[in-house]
């Protein structure tokens, strides 16, 4: 499969999501209030920010979520 066809597939997926909207599923529960989401069509990753709004998942927010997940599990004695 060449690079052009991969680019076309990604562009088609992004156009589908921009026209019809994303199909979001929860991929990970960080705490009862924080979650990570992913679009099943274009694989856009989202998370909750400090204000409760849904934002794109940046490397910084991924690290914050991982720290929060570990802290929450240690505090509630949940085995990982």
**Residue 51 to residues 16, 34, 47, 48: CA-CA distances in angstroms?**
29, 11, 11, 8
The answer to whether residues 37 and 49 touch, using CB atoms and an 8 Å cutoff, is no
Query: At residue 11, does pLDDT exceed 80?
Result: no
DSSP state of 52: S
Alpha carbon 25 to its chain centroid, in Å, reads 9
- Report DSSP state, residue 40: T
Euclidean distance between CA atoms 18 and 56, whole angstroms = 15
- What's the total number of domains in the chain? 1
Decide if 80 is inside a domain.
Answer: no
The pLDDT of residue 15? 85
pLDDT over 80 at 75, yes or no:
yes
Confidence of residue 49 (pLDDT cuts 50, 70, 90): confident
Domain containing 63 equals: 3-75
- Indicate whether 26 belongs to any domain: yes
């Amino acid at each position: 499969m060449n690079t052009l066809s991969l680019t076309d597939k990604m562009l088609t997926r992004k156009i589908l999501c921009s026209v019809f909207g994303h199909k979001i599923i929860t991929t990970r529960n960080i705490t009862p209030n924080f979650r990570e989401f992913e679009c099943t069509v274009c694989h856009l990753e989202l998370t909750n920010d400090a204000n409760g709004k849904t934002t794109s998942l940046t490397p910084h927010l991924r690290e914050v979520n991982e720290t929060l997940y570990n802290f929450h599990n240690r505090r509630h004695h949940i085995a990982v």
